[in-house]
Amino acid sequence: MVRTVGANWGLVTQGTFMVVMTTVFFYMITAYTPTFGNKVLALGPGESLFVTACVGITNFTLLPVMGALSDRIGRKPLLITATLLGILLAYPLMRWLVDAPSFGRLLTVELLLAAIYATYNGAFIVYLTEVIPAHVRTVGFSLAYSLATAVFGGFTPAISTALIGATGDKAIPGAWCALAALLSLLALLIGARDAPATP
């Protein structure tokens, strides 16, 4: 199995970069929202937690819908649309939020980011299983997802806090999300199906 994964390491690496957007957006809209709302925007803890709960409901609702939509129109259109929206909107949305922080703006921004996340992830989970060869699918999928989470997603709260401290820009976490979306878009455009796979 180790030799098989090694022979398909390029595909696993490509899959890892495809996962980056999923993990970064997930940690941004869930784990980091309470901290961002309380510490950066000076909103009440109850407001931030309520927004996080709304994000969870949005994900619960939209993920199967987007998965079903990807069955009808294909995975790539949704994946590319979501990554482009992430690149174009993540920072402007955060900029709009921090310019006049409020519960309403936080809820609006987080739900929009959640919708982008759900659009991507609803199609992506199936897409990644489809592009990884069956003989290495379980290990390849696990490695790609775990690596992206460990290197990118899991550090999103810490990276966001560090970026704000280094730049003084409270909206800079949006740029981190945009970068994640760009990395995933590039991996998608390269095309996992084109990567060599060796039995």
pLDDT tens string 165-195: 999 999 999 999 999 999 999 999 986 444 4
Closest CA to 86 of 178, 166, 22, 174: 178
Q: If 0-12 CB within 10 Å is exposed, 13-18 middle and 19+ buried, where does residue 50 land?
A: middle
Q: Supply the pTM of this predicted model.
A: 0.89
pLDDT in tens, 70-83: 999 999 999 999 99
**Which CA distances in Å does 148 have to 47, 58, 77, 181?**
30, 23, 22, 13
SS3 67: helix
Dihedral over Cα of 52, 56, 62, 66: its sign: positive
pLDDT in tens, 88-102: 999 999 999 999 999
